[in-house]
Structures are given as C-alpha cells and as structure tokens.
C-alpha cells in the first residue's frame, strides 16, 4: 500500500462536540485518515483512523456475520422485559431507526451526555428562557459571561468561533468575563483581541444572583458574593447594563449545580432584556444529543428519557435517566457511533452498536461494530444551539454498517 496517493479533503464537517466546525482538512491515504490544518485535539483524535481490518460482529465474543448478530440481537429484544436504548451517539437516520425500534420492541431512550441537557431543562421548562445562537454571538456579543470552568478544554475552538476578530456589529474591545475557573492558554490565545477578566469563585450561583439584583438597580446585602467583592460585581452589572448584547454561557454537564446556574443565568438575562439585549448560550451537543432530542420531540412529543411501551410514550427526567433506567432493565442496547464510549456496567444482556475501537469491560452479548457518521458514511447532526444542523460527508468507503442500517437489520430479521 506504499504507493497509495494522499488525497486531501477540504471543508470537512465535524459532528463530534456539537460546535459544528465545518472547515476541517483531512488527509486520506487509502483507509487511513488524519486531520491537518486547524483542528481541535478531540476532532484530531476521533478522525484519526488507521488501515486496519474491521473488528467483526460477534455473539458472546464469537465472530459472526452481520445477519447472525442482528438475529441474535432481535432474539434478545423479543425476550426483553425492559430495554434501555442508551448511548444514542448516532446521526439523525440512526435516531429515527432507533425510535422505530423502540416503538416496535419497547424501550427507554436516553443519551449518554444528557445530564447537562436536563440540568438546563429544569430552567427552560419551568420558566422558559431567552437564548441566542452562534452567529449572533459572533457578531453582536460585546460582553460574554463564561460561567464555571473554562470550556475550551471540551470545545477546543469555542472562543475562536464565538469571537472572530472582525464582528459585524460589536464595537470596540469586546469583553469576556470568566466567572468561576480561570481561562486557560487556549482561551487566552483565541480571545487575544478581547478584554478578558476573571472573577474567581466556587459559587457562581451566588455571583449570578447578586448580578441580577444589581442589574435591577438594587444593592444585595453583603460585601462579597461567592467570594467576589460587591464592588467588582457592581462594576460588572453596570457594564452589562451599558452593553448592547450580553451573552451568558455555561456547560451544565460540568457543574454540580448546573440546574441552578442555568436558572440564575436565565433570570439575569431576563432582567437585562428589559433595557438592553441579552441571551443565554448553553453549551452541550456532544455526539448529536441535540439532534436525537429534537427528533424525539417531533416523533414522540417528549425529549430524551422517554419510555415507549405498548404503543404509548411516557417521559420522566429522573426515572428514565440511564442510571435509574438500568436499575430496572434486563437489556441494554448501547449505541455509540461517534466515539469508543463503552457502555456503563450492567448485569443484564448487552447489545452494542459500537465504534470498532470500543474497549468493553465485559464482552457484549451481541456486538455490531458500526461506522462513524462523517467518517465512514454521510449523515446529519445538529449543532448545540438546536437550530442549525449540518450535513456530514463520508471520508472513505464504508466497510461497516451505519447505525440505521444495523438497526434495520435487527428489526427486519
């Protein structure tokens, strides 16, 4: 294979973290793939593929063909008392096929990254919120609040995408205030043309509450909030009132009290919109969780953490969360096509539609390795803002089935 030419594919769309970068460059050499040019560490790692033989489908660890594995999976689903369809790292076609499967065989649907989503929903469903999307932040935001730890570790190009050097509308030096952890090197580099400040605190909820009160023109009782002096918060509140477009962003998955952060940030943004403009920009979106959630909303009328049984669906954000649902389940259908995310420990039967490099604690009862959307086959994923979705292309000829194909094999027998 030494004489295989290297082909470079430009403008590759990345579907892994939910930020939706679509300007990647990938070098293809036979079946080998490697990212080149501007790319974050996570995308580089997940795109990197070697020219190795695919792991075969297996039943109880013994290699079988796809049809045999699908038949064994079907047999397990038919005999299941309670199935959790978990992981759900899949594109829109896979999500649709899995929803059909849940309708046919019954099952609870949850995504492996849904903790952050439901912390945000605690607020979004109770009071609603005023939100914004990437292109608006890029061009309008003149004061960005980053709440919690620096998110650049998880979204490597976040600040590059949010704060380009030449926005359409935001004037003068744009401000970024980190409330919580300090900005790391990546954030500082990408925000080199903005004014960065840091309010160190381990209680961002208290800081946000105080900012809301101050934005309302009142003085909260106390000299410091979450360890931040009142005077600094008063100055920030004044700056927010004078700003044209304030954006609050946080990663609820990484915050123990993410539900409270979401609620207080929502309240603050509500208050700011009385006199100026502001929006929340919650972070998330890993492995197309937003797309899967969107599809469930239009197909079932409920978000993730929904059970489909006997031709009817019920939703319960606590009862049907993966950990709780597994306690009642006897079968886990685990789906992770974007990354080698192993299934959680589980004593019942496991059917895995998994990335071929997944390392399992115990060999699944049925394993069907699947291709990765945007690497092995085309597909659609949603960005974290739930509005924009993107077409993923194939970077090489697929040798593994997609999740949708594997699920159809299982369902149709």
Partner 1 sequence: MRLRLKGGRVLDPANGENGVATGAVRDIEIEDGRIVAPTDSKADAEYDLGGDVVLAGGIDLHSHIAGGKMNLARLLMQEDRRTYPEMPGNFCGCGGGRAVPTAHATGCRYAELGYTTVFEPAMVGANARGAHLEMADIPNLDTGAYLVLGNDDFFQRLLAAGAHQETVNAYVGWMIEATQAFAIKIVNPGGINAFKFNARKLDLDEANPHYGVSPRRVLTTLIRAVTELGLPHPIHLHGCNLGVPGNDETTLATIAAAEGRRLHLTHLQFHSYGTEGDKRFSSSAARIAEMVNANPNISVDVGQVMFGQTVTASADYMSQYRNRAIASPNKSIGMDIELDAACGVVPFEYRDRNFVNALQWAIGLELFLLVEDPWRIFLTTDHPNGGPFTTYPHLIRLLMDRDFRNAQLATLNKAAQAHTLLGQITREYSLEEVAILTRAAPARILGLKEKGHLGVGAVADIAVHTEDADREAMFSTTRYVFKNGRLIVKDGLVVELAQGTTHVARPEFDRAIDKDMQRWFDESVGLKSKHFRVADGELRGGAGPTILKCEGVAP
Which stretches of the chain bind partner 1, using CB under 8 A?
11, 13, 20, 22-23, 92, 96, 99, 103, 121, 124-136, 138-140, 161, 164, 166, 168-169, 244-245, 273, 276-277, 279, 294-295, 297-303, 308, 310-313, 315, 380, 382, 386-391
State the minimum distance, in angstroms, from the CB of residue 236 to partner 1: 20
Select 198 or 244, whichever has its Cβ closest to partner 1: 244
SS3 category, 328: helix
State the minimum distance, in angstroms, from the CB of residue 119 to partner 1: 14
State the minimum distance, in angstroms, from the CB of residue 357 to partner 1: 27
Select 72 or 131, whichever has its Cβ closest to partner 1: 131
SS3 category, 285: coil
State the minimum distance, in angstroms, from the CB of residue 378 to partner 1: 9
Residue-wise burial string across 271-310, b where 16 or more C-beta atoms lie within 10 A, e elsewhere: bbeeeebbbbbbbbbbbbbbbbbbbbeebbebbbbbbbee
Residues with Cβ within 8 Å of residue 310, at least 6 apart in sequence? 106
Q: What's the CA gap between 15 and 9, in Å, rounded?
A: 16
Select 157 or 286, whichever has its Cβ closest to partner 1: 157
State the minimum distance, in angstroms, from the CB of residue 409 to partner 1: 18
Select 127 or 362, whichever has its Cβ closest to partner 1: 127
State the minimum distance, in angstroms, from the CB of residue 391 to partner 1: 6
**197's tokens:** 């400040």
Q: Tokens 């499967």 appear where?
A: 101
**101's tokens:** 């499967």
SS3 category, 326: helix
Query: Whose CA is closest to 338, among 102, 75, 13?
Result: 13
Query: First CA to last CA across the chain, in angstroms?
Result: 38
State the minimum distance, in angstroms, from the CB of residue 21 to partner 1: 9
Select 122 or 230, whichever has its Cβ closest to partner 1: 122
Select 136 or 330, whichever has its Cβ closest to partner 1: 136
Edge-to-edge strands, sheet with 175-180? 195-200, 175-180, 143-148, 245-250, 277-280
Q: Are 352 and 339 in contact (CB under 8 A)?
A: no
Q: Are 23 and 14 in contact (CB under 8 A)?
A: no
């Amino acid at each position: 294979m030494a004489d295989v030419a290297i082909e470079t594919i430009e403008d590759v769309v990345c579907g892994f973290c939910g930020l939706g970068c679509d300007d990647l460059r990938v070098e293809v050499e036979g079946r080998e793939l490697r990212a080149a040019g501007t790319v974050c560490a996570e995308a580089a790692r997940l795109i990197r593929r070697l020219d190795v033989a695919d792991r075969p489908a297996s039943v109880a660890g013994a290699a079988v063909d796809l049809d045999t594995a699908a038949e064994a999976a079907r047999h397990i689903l038919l005999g299941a008392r309670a199935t959790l369809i978990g992981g759900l790292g899949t594109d829109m076609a896979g999500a649709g096929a899995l929803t059909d499967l849940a309708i046919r065989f019954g099952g609870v649907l949850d995504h492996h990254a849904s903790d952050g989503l439901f912390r945000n929903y605690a607020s979004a469903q109770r009071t609603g919120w005023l939100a914004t999307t990437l292109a608006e932040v890029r061009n309008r935001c003149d004061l960005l609040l980053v709440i919690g730890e620096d998110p650049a570790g998880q979204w490597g190009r976040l600040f590059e995408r949010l704060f380009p050097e030449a926005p359409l509308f935001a004037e003068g030096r744009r401000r970024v205030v980190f409330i919580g952890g300090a900005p790391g090197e990546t954030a500082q580099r990408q925000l080199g043309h903005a004014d960065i400040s840091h309010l160190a605190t381990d209680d961002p909820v208290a800081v946000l509450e105080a900012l809301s009160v101050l934005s309302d023109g009142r003085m909260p009782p106390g000299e410091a909030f979450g360890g931040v002096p009142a005077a600094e918060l008063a100055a920030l509140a004044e700056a927010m009132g004078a700003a044209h477009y304030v954006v609050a962003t946080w990663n609820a998955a990484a915050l123990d009290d993410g539900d409270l952060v979401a609620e207080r940030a929502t309240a603050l943004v509500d208050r700011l919109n009385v006199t100026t403009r502001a929006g929340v920009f919650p972070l998330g979106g890993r492995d197309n969780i937003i797309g899967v959630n969107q599809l469930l909303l239009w197909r079932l009328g409920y978000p993730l953490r929904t059970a489909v049984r006997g031709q009817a669906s019920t939703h319960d954000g606590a009862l049907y969360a993966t950990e709780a649902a597994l306690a009642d389940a006897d079968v886990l259908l685990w789906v992770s096509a974007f990354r080698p995310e192993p299934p959680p420990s589980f004593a019942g039967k496991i059917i895995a539609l998994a990335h071929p490099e997944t390392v399992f604690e115990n060999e699944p009862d049925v394993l069907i390795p699947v291709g990765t959307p945007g690497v092995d086959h085309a597909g659609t994923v949603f960005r974290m803002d739930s509005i924009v979705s993107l077409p993923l292309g194939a970077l090489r000829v697929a040798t593994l089935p997609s999740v949708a194909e594997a699920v159809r094999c299982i369902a149709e027998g």
